[in-house]
Amino acid sequence: LLSKNRIQCRAIEVQTNHTFLKGDKFQLEDVIEAQQFDRDTLSAIFKVAREMETIEKNSHGSQLLNGYLMATLFYEPSTRTRLSFESAMKRLGGEVLTTENAREFSSAAKGETLEDSIRTVEGYSDIIVMRHFESGAARRAAMTANIPVINAGDGPGQHPTQALLDMYTIEREIGKLDGIKVGLVGDLANGRTVRSLAYLLAKYDNVKVYFVSPQVVKMKEDIKEYLTMKGVKWEESVDLKEVASECDVVYQTRIQKERFGERSDLYEEARGKYIIDGEVLGVMQEHAIVMHPLPRLDEIRVEVDGDPRAAYFRQAKNGLYIRMALLKLLLIGW
């Protein structure tokens, strides 16, 4: 519908006051990896996400993206992520083309390249949200497409909108990103979530990170070295309660059974080791929060859900606001 570097005049429903961006605007072209964002960009995106929250709560059917068409091109199913993006587009009055089985896309099955598929789909839509099973696929898609591409997860690679919504949740709940203490708990070896989060936390000043994980799924050296290089203090701990009492954010993750293969004994041992329950909650500070990327099994007990510090469902909802913000920024700019 539109070329990428278009200039647009259209009435935006919310009052905007981007003093920060006066004379310093940039055009967001694609969302490929968490590291592409600097502090100022993150701050600007979060501001738009707040506006989106207002739109979603107060207006009946925003028409901000009326006439725009988003293609959700999912090469592996991820219903939660897909519904979040599609809700974001529809909450802004945009429309959606969906395929959750792009891998069986008759064309891909017949041997068509990703590049050719993207060239076809970009003819039908204004923006592509792609999930793929191969690391680097999102970047290849973005290099081919003449319309914006959002990476909704590419294999073991990146899932940048998850990292953004995590950071947005911390800022929204704690009120700041500098000077925070974050405990990363659970499967720190395999979760791309906590790895991306570590990268983004390193952009802020005076952050302290605690790693609490079973021995078999410890945080890998590359992240620790990265944090050290960036001047972020970190330590490993085996005492979840002590860490919980110190932190602003306790970020729990699921131990991924599929990583343990036949060693279900190791899985069961790892899984039961660090659980957030009423007792852990009891030592946490009043203003602190518990986060989790979901789905959870029992690594956070249901008894925690009713506590105002249980932020994980608010966190999931923030994914909607972040995605609304990104769709707006990519399609019509600041």
Residue 36 makes contact with a second copy by CB under 8 A: no
Identity of the residue, 90 or 139, whose beta carbon is nearer to a second copy in the bound complex: 90
Cβ proximity of 320 and 92 under 8 Å? no
Q: How many CB atoms lie within 10 A of CB 189?
A: 18
User: Does the protein bind a second copy through residue 22 (CB under 8 A)?
Assistant: no
The closest alpha carbon to 237, from 274, 262, 200, belongs to: 274
- Whether 271 is catalytic is no
Query: Is 228 a catalytic site residue?
Result: no
Phi, psi of 71 (to 5 degrees): -100, 120
In the bound state with a second copy, the residue whose beta carbon lies nearer, of 1 and 238, is 1
Where in 243-262 is the site for a second copy (CB under 8 A)? 254
CB of 310 to a second copy, least distance (A): 11
224 near a second copy (CB under 8 A): no
Selected catalytic residue, list 6, 18, 80, 176: 80
Catalytic entry in 82, 140, 159, 172: 159
The CA-based dihedral angle spanning residues 59, 60, 66, 69, taken in that order and rounded to the nearest 10 degrees: 110
What is the x/- site pattern for a second copy, positions 268-297, by CB under 8 A?
--------------------------xxxx
Residue 80 annotated to the active site? yes
Cis peptide bond upstream of 295, omega within 30: yes
12 lies in the binding site for a second copy (CB under 8 A): no
Q: Which stretch binds a second copy (CB under 8 A): 20-28, 115-123, 135-143, 187-195?
A: 115-123
The residue (of 86 and 248) whose beta carbon lies closer to a second copy is 86
Q: How far is the CB of 254 from a second copy (least distance, A)?
A: 7
- Closest Cα partner for 219 from 271, 184, 266? 184
Nearer to a second copy, 101 or 215 (CB): 101
Task: Supply the minimum distance, in Å, between the C-beta of residue 40 and a second copy.
Answer: 28
Which helix (H) or strand (E) element contains residue 234?
strand 233-236
The structure tokens listed for 62 are: 């925003």
Supply the DSSP symbol for 49: H
**Helix, strand, coil percent values for the chain (each to nearest 5):** 45, 15, 45
Stretch that binds a second copy, among 46-54, 176-184, 203-211, 313-321 (CB under 8 A): 313-321
Of the pair 116, 222, the CB lying nearest a second copy is at 116
* Among positions 35, 41, 43, 98, the unique one binding a second copy when judged by CB under 8 A: 98
Q: Assess 306 for contact with a second copy (CB under 8 A).
A: no
**Rounded CA separation 130/291 (Å):** 26
Of 274, 264, 269, 277, which is closest to residue 310 (Cα–Cα)? 277
Give me the least distance between CB of 67 and a second copy, in Å please: 2
- The whole-angstrom separation of Cα 99 and Cα 282 is 45
Paired with 150 in beta bridges are: 31, 129
CB of 295 to a second copy, least distance (A): 4
DSSP three-state, residue 130: strand
Pairing of strands 181-185, 149-154: unpaired
Based on the residue annotation, tell me whether 54 is a catalytic residue of this protein.
no
Q: Is residue 17 packed enough to be buried (19+ CB in 10 Å), middle (13-18) or exposed (0-12)? A: exposed
- Is residue 15 at the binding interface for a second copy, with CB under 8 A as the rule? no
81 catalytic residue (yes or no): yes
- Does residue 334 bind a second copy (CB under 8 A)? no
Q: State residue 193 phi and psi, 5-degree precision.
A: -60, -55
The catalytic residues are: 80-81, 110, 131, 159
Contact positions vs a second copy (CB under 8 A): 1, 10, 56-57, 59-62, 66-69, 71, 77-80, 82-84, 86-87, 90-91, 95, 97-102, 104-107, 110-112, 116-117, 119-121, 123-125, 254, 294-297, 313, 316-317, 320
